[in-house]
Structure 1
């Protein structure tokens, strides 16, 4: 009798040159499958203006979950492999694909680590999504004051000393959230912060929305290297993937991977978009294989641009030596933060001039600054175009005085009267913001971009909040709120 021995096919070692999900999706799109499943456009079967605009191949790749393309909520094949490669590339133990941006990653981090009523230490210049995560989870925020740069009119990261003080004042805190880097590219000493927090038994969460590229930048420390437990990073912002696609990275055993997987499954759609997920896979490969070389090529070009921009003395660029000397932090040079109030103009005015007169879309404006984001997609030509436009603005629009304002930096922490969740569910009314002094906000008033709050649900509205609101609304119309009417705010009914 012949005995047939069972043989197993050895698992192929995954390499960073692979893009398993992206390649599988392309194969399926080119397979000429006849679609009787959703989505209803049937892989772009109809010739429509939308298909003409975005391309037939893009619609062929917009498909539903199936055996050969895996399932995000329970990955077993190509999505699992793509997530493992993402984890390896960042030095993490696990990576989870996010198709609702870093916003959903921040919500997941908070829900995975904190129970209702527990304390979360958080910088005051956190993103709106952190506030929404507090409402969803029922946690109690304990705010830490970031370092304020009055010269540039912006806030940087939270100092090690402020974190240490917060840990002493809140010994029962469950988690600490740090923004690293900040929207303006500044980075606190995250390694020391992680060590302090872990000694106190506190889990470290990092909003690294603007730091997907740090791993491939020379002499930069990314959050996983620094020792963070959970990190959310926007690959779409600086890593090259499609808008709305991000990664949630986990390392260590302070939080279980199963818990994170369960929370992300609750928060994300069961119809995950394959264009977004495959773009994460493809962008990770490009960043690992070519990112370091691309940024190395761009660094001298940016340095020459900075010299040219600063030559006329009306501009000043935020540089590592400034941040290091004054705040003991470091600066990501790919965030080109340009102080423009020496022209006698606000950052909002220069932002508008660059768009309307020169066709240049900047990332943001603040009272004193505009900011450009440099990525591997930039060239000597694109950076030269920005430099030439700034110099032309200097020649054409400079006024005889330097502009100063008392309201360029939000540097106060308001009194927290109720938890954000309590205020959100309380009976509410909408009133004119000028009548809101002393009332308890049921709304988040935030400056967007970058999405930093002036006041959050549960905080008392002060005269200073209203003055900041008025400044930003008049300067740029950039204050967002839940109220439909400009100049109005939603408050807790009867709450004083």
Structure 2
């Protein structure tokens, strides 16, 4: 065996493998083209980067179909023999396939072997292509035979084609699914070995070990039949945890009938080796199920049908548009298909969103499969509505709901609509940057314990938290739910994942989604080990008389829920924010063990309450297609998204001019040390293994796709930087700023060119800001920047709206409707309101006051107005404040109303 060597370049850091592979081949083409056209062939020896690329590709190509290690080795031999032109042609073939372009005829085709010639001819096939992982120790001849058989079985009627990636060990299988997002199915043959012989990078090796450890897959050199079955089961569990969208198949020899009963839960089907055609048809059929977009197909069918419209919607079929002389530009701009697809009818297979039985129901079922939910629902008017649906379905007047104060305003409005009593949870403040972090688990637990001590724990119905926050702070939902259920076993959880829908499609980020956490928690509660740990902890938390340990013990200890705790978890997604969907396309995902008994009927009633009877079918179709996309290529898209964000942060940190002007905020600035076990400021920069450890252990982590940049040294505030410099001058759109920060978000549509353009713009702006500062007259005193006051905590509900027993819940609904009566409120200018506060009065807000930014209600109905709130509001430099009229001032309740009750 050849001497094992360590790669000089990382051959497969999962977060950037797509770029590393692409860059390596692109650089090879550049370098070899230079050799073809140079008179100095000795330049080859000086170009160590060329050989580093070749050595990296020797490992990388093992995990991708089509070319493989032999192809890379053949190119290396051609270079050593001085056959630069032929090497360039072979490299060009790879680059063109990776770009998805058609491949021209090879003028040196006579020098290709039979297998390579067959692949060459196959490159021009326009059908969508996926890859199938085969885990088995095979000879070179076996591999060639398998590839040839796959090509032979292809039929012109097949909608898709596939290639094989063949690896000999469990380690290599894990490496393949981590580095190659094109793999959509896996065939396991029990003859594989355990450990790899490839020279992998340290990061990839560490990630493989973490994946094995998480699934309980350990090296086992035993060759017994039982050990072989356990090894197969362990690998299947590991691959399913990493990439749940993968279909797993087992190909075995004798006694497959016996194996089928043991392995059915892990594998979709079990085949004998001779069942090659049946396996081929199964692979294609399964991909067709992922590709199926039933509602989009129904819309397409409807648009092609000749119909007569004798009901509402004149725009349907373009009736009121195509013959108009005044609005024909609507068709020119949007296209005729948009109008052909418009209808108000639910017949013809289009289904009803309010009572789906056909295409919409199937599309929602497919979404549930994709996101790991037990059921999913499409929402066509945004996550604001999705949140209100869940609140109304699960909460009744008088129920206590624990709500993140820094959550979207729709939750506050939902509390008002339902009549539930709101108990606000305070997130830790980041005063230096003028926005909040997240709610520490210790605060949630303490508040639950406070309600238990007051004898009111039975009133607490639900907890609502935002994961991740607008600024990218990510909770550990499994830990939060487990510890809260240890105090109240029937608690319901609503996770607002408006900005986190993409996370379900990456092996690391998925672990912190609500649906994945609910599934893992449900499985954990069923184990004997969990039951034993629960009993041991209960013996510590309660004495022999049943008296509970002090609250400090409950807060400090990591609590274990009862095995009988109920898993009741809801998540809302602004699908349009981070995945492919039209604006306002959202989803509700449900993982509720008590759905039928306690939630199904009220949920459907709430859904009908808030859903239009005329939903936008184009939004529904986009949700259907967005689901198809992420099941087939979500891993690749999210992997690229995270890597591009990392590239942006590193560019700012390394560029001499940019790092003088801007500062990328990391976990060390955004998460207090008591909420982190790991110390790395940006774990993904160190590799996927480091990110995995942080996301596995830390209470809070930072979503690496969000780059918060501190801009104090520019001399302008965030709002000015956003509008006057980024948007007006360069057309760069950003959503969120604070007084001294700007948030850049990558998404699955972000490109390398877009990142390069942003870096170019930031360099130009940095030069401009430095020039402006250099031109300042030193004799003219510069106005000192006003220091932003601390972010205000929630003050309290006023008398009559509060609980009256020292607990924080209050009656938003009564206060809100009191504030809607003209005679019950007065408008007070800030100066007068401050005078009243300083005089010891207790003004009460008559409505919601929500500045954008930061985007959360600073005041809610029934809340006491304090000096801290007025200080914060006066220092805000924002263009938009909902609920505040600058001409009239704040809306406050009159004294008699404020003290009523």
- The match for 2:583 is 243
Describe the superposition over 1:412-437 as per-residue Cα deviations: whole angstroms up to 9, x where unpaired. 11211222111111133341341334
Partners of 2:603 and 2:719 in 1: how far apart? 40
SS of the residue corresponding to residue 456 of structure 1 reads: coil
Pairwise CA RMSD:
2.3
Q: Which has the higher helix share?
A: 2
- The match for 2:868 is 464
Q: 1:449 to 1:233 in 2, by over 3 A?
A: farther
- The match for 1:15 is 289
Larger RCO (CA within 8 A; separation ≥ 6):
1
Write the mapping of 1:80-479 to structure 2, written as runs, cut at 5 A: 80-170=361-451, 171=457, 172-199=459-486, 200=488, 201-220=490-509, 221-227=512-518, 229-255=569-595, 256-310=599-653, 311=655, 312-320=659-667, 322-323=669-670, 326=673, 327-328=675-676, 329-352=700-723, 353-398=725-770, 399=773, 406-407=787-788, 410-417=791-798, 418=801, 419-426=811-818, 427=821, 428-434=824-830, 435-436=832-833, 437=837, 438-449=842-853, 451-472=855-876, 475-479=877-881
Partners of 2:738 and 2:881 in 1: how far apart? 12
Partners of 1:279 and 1:457 in 2: how far apart? 37
Describe the superposition over 1:4-31 as per-residue Cα deviations: whole angstroms up to 9, x where unpaired. xxxxxxxx99932211001111111122
SS of the residue corresponding to residue 194 of structure 1 reads: helix
Deviation at 1:370, TM superposition (A): 0.9
SS of the residue corresponding to residue 337 of structure 1 reads: strand
- Report the more deviating stretch, 64-73 or 205-214: 64-73
- Report the more deviating stretch, 433-442 or 453-462: 433-442
For the pair shown, the structure with the greater C-alpha radius of gyration is 2
Partners of 1:251 and 1:285 in 2: how far apart? 21
Partners of 1:252 and 1:129 in 2: how far apart? 22
Q: 1:298 to 1:213 in 2, by over 3 A?
A: closer
1:53 matched to 2:333? The reply is yes
Partners of 1:450 and 1:87 in 2: how far apart? 33
Q: 1:15 to 1:405 in 2, by over 3 A?
A: farther
TM-score normalised by structure 2 residue count: 0.51
- Report the more deviating stretch, 266-275 or 296-305: 296-305
- The match for 1:34 is 308
Indicate if the aligned counterparts of 2:316 and 2:341 stay in contact, CA closer than 8 A: no
Indicate if the aligned counterparts of 1:203 and 1:254 stay in contact, CA closer than 8 A: no
Indicate if the aligned counterparts of 1:343 and 1:403 stay in contact, CA closer than 8 A: no
Partners of 2:299 and 2:330 in 1: how far apart? 21
Deviation at 1:34, TM superposition (A): 2.5
Indicate if the aligned counterparts of 2:853 and 2:878 stay in contact, CA closer than 8 A: no
1:491 matched to 2:892? The reply is yes
Partners of 2:318 and 2:308 in 1: how far apart? 11
Deviation at 1:493, TM superposition (A): 2.8
Deviation at 1:101, TM superposition (A): 0.7
Indicate if the aligned counterparts of 2:493 and 2:570 stay in contact, CA closer than 8 A: yes
Partners of 1:88 and 1:104 in 2: how far apart? 23
SS of the residue corresponding to residue 204 of structure 1 reads: strand
Indicate if the aligned counterparts of 1:319 and 1:333 stay in contact, CA closer than 8 A: no
Describe the superposition over 1:62-82 as per-residue Cα deviations: whole angstroms up to 9, x where unpaired. 222322100111110100000
Describe the superposition over 1:448-490 as per-residue Cα deviations: whole angstroms up to 9, x where unpaired. 2563111001101122222222222xx2212211x55556222
Partners of 2:381 and 2:496 in 1: how far apart? 15
Indicate if the aligned counterparts of 2:852 and 2:878 stay in contact, CA closer than 8 A: no
Q: 1:214 to 1:463 in 2, by over 3 A?
A: same
Unpaired segments of 5 or more residues in structure 1? 1-11
Describe the superposition over 1:32-52 as per-residue Cα deviations: whole angstroms up to 9, x where unpaired. 322222212122222323333
Deviation at 1:409, TM superposition (A): 5.7
Deviation at 1:318, TM superposition (A): 3.0
- Report the more deviating stretch, 249-258 or 167-176: 249-258
Partners of 1:293 and 1:97 in 2: how far apart? 24
Q: 1:108 to 1:74 in 2, by over 3 A?
A: same
Unpaired segments of 5 or more residues in structure 2? 1-284, 452-456, 519-567, 677-699, 775-781, 802-810
Partners of 1:161 and 1:81 in 2: how far apart? 41
Q: 1:65 to 1:411 in 2, by over 3 A?
A: farther
TM-score normalised by structure 1 residue count: 0.91
Q: 1:350 to 1:241 in 2, by over 3 A?
A: same
Q: 1:367 to 1:421 in 2, by over 3 A?
A: same
- Report the more deviating stretch, 333-342 or 66-75: 333-342
Describe the superposition over 1:187-206 as per-residue Cα deviations: whole angstroms up to 9, x where unpaired. 12221111123231211111
